[in-house]
Amino acid sequence: MRDWSELWMWRTAFVLCVLSVLALALLPNAAPLMLLSTGWDKANHVLAFFLLGMLGLRAFPGPAWRVAAGLLGYGVLIEVLQGMTTWRTAEWQDLLPDVIGITAALGVFAVLRRGSGRGA
């Protein structure tokens, strides 16, 4: 079991990432924000949810499916909120790259844990 200061650090990083992704997802498209883009919307989703997944798995030890399910719900929430704006659109196809990013994080995290000798 990790100590609370380590969990606090990972949870803080996770929350900051969640809020940053939400802001980027809901702000109107603007030139300065394009600097934070991979250049392809779907790759942005994969990268964002991979990072959220890696941080979430570190921040919340326990069953990985809980982090994965929470992040999928977060992806749905983003699409719902985007659909409620006049400057963004909900694209339900964005959930597939979200799932790809989450799945990649689960795989990488499992490999790293096995490599560190902590077990899955």
Over the stretch 71-114, which tens digit does the pLDDT of each residue have?
Answer: 999 999 999 999 999 999 999 999 999 999 999 999 999 999 88
Q: What is the mean pLDDT of the chain?
A: 90
**Orientation of helix 4-26 relative to helix 64-83, angle to 10°:** 20
What was the pLDDT predicted at 32? 54
How many independent structural domains does the chain possess? 1
What pLDDT is stored for residue 27 in this prediction? 87
Give CA–CA dist 22/110, Å, rounded.
27
Q: How far apart are CA 85 and CA 83, in angstroms?
A: 6
Full residue range of the structural domain in which residue 90 is found: 4-116
In angstroms, how far is the first alpha carbon of the chain from the final one?
13
Which candidate, 93, 92, 102, 78, places its Cα nearest to that of 26? 78
pLDDT at 31 over 60: no
pTM, two decimal places: 0.89
